[in-house]
């Protein structure tokens, strides 16, 4: 079970190629697993809805997504293409 334990953080910046990146960070407690497409999976009801919404937004707008976890921080990077 994954529990959200902190505040959601949003950061926007330009990467070294001048592309806009939106970085979303959230604290969590538990274990996050990834499927064979490197997408986070969650078996809990009504959990992960935000991540699914971001994935749908990225798909509709042809954006790149990258997920990262670091001990207690879950990150989603959204890279806007040229």
Could you tell me what percentage of the chain is helix, strand and coil, using 3-state DSSP and rounding each to the nearest 5? 15, 45, 40
Among 12, 17, 8, 22, CA closest to 79: 22
pLDDT digits (tens, 9 = 90+) for 16-31: 999 999 998 888 777 7
Using 50, 70 and 90 to split pLDDT, how confident is the model at 37? confident
Q: What is the chain's mean pLDDT, rounded?
A: 81
Cα separation, 9 vs 12, whole angstroms: 10
Q: Is 15 helix (H, G, I), strand (E, B) or coil?
A: coil
Count helices and strands in the chain by DSSP H and E runs:
1, 7
């Amino acid at each position: 079970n994954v529990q959200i334990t902190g505040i959601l953080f949003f950061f926007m910046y330009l990467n070294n190629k001048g592309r806009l990146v939106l970085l979303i960070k959230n604290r969590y407690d538990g274990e996050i697993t990834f499927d064979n497409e490197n997408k986070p999976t969650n078996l809990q009801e009504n959990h992960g809805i935000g991540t699914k919404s971001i994935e749908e937004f990225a798909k509709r707008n042809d954006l790149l997504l990258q997920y990262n976890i670091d001990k207690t921080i879950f990150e989603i990077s959204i890279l806007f293409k040229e």
